Structures are given as C-alpha cells and as structure tokens.
Amino acid sequence: MKPAKAFLLTLLIVAIYILHQDFWNWKKAEPLVLGFLPVGLAYHAAYSVVAAMLMAALVSVAWPKHLENVQGKESDGKGDQTKDH
C-alpha cells in the first residue's frame, strides 16, 4: 500500500475515534430527529453507518492480499477431519 493511502486511512481511523466521543450531545435530548429520535441516538446511528463504511474501505483497500492465497490441503476423503484424529 502506498504511504499516502496508509496515512489517509490512519487519519480517518483517528477521526472516527475522536468523533465517537460525542461530548456535545451528552446532556441534551432535544432536538428530536424525525420527531421521535433523541439527537444522541440519531448521532450514534449515523456514526455506526460511517464506521461500517470505513471498515468496508479498510477491508477492500488495506487487507493483506497474502492472507487470501490459501492453498487447499490434500484431501484424504475424511471431510474436515485432521490427520491427528
């Protein structure tokens, strides 16, 4: 992975970590989002979606490719059993 891409992903991870500490919503329930959802709960719902999108980006961009190159074991006709049993 290129150093610039790694730096950007690291910066995004730090930003999402800092945004998780939503101290500005701790003591208020107003305004209600969509008329029924407290602002803190709506914030965390949106935060969860953004965090999931970041994780998807991390998996697609930063996942080590060598972990996907798993060669199959020789089959001995016994299914998933190992040779030790």
- For residues 61-83, give the mean pLDDT: 67
Res 24: pLDDT? 78
Strand-pair partners of 33: 37
- The confidence score (pLDDT) of residue 80 equals 55
| Residue 27 near residue 39 (C-beta atoms within 8 A) | no
Task: Give me the chain's average pLDDT, please.
Answer: 82
- Where does the pLDDT of residue 67 fall: very low under 50, low under 70, confident under 90, or very high at 90 and above? confident
Tokens describing residue 12:
């995004």
What's the pLDDT tens digit per position in 14-50?
999 998 888 877 777 788 889 888 888 888 999 999 9
In 1-85, which ranges are continuous DSSP H helix?
A: 3-20, 39-62
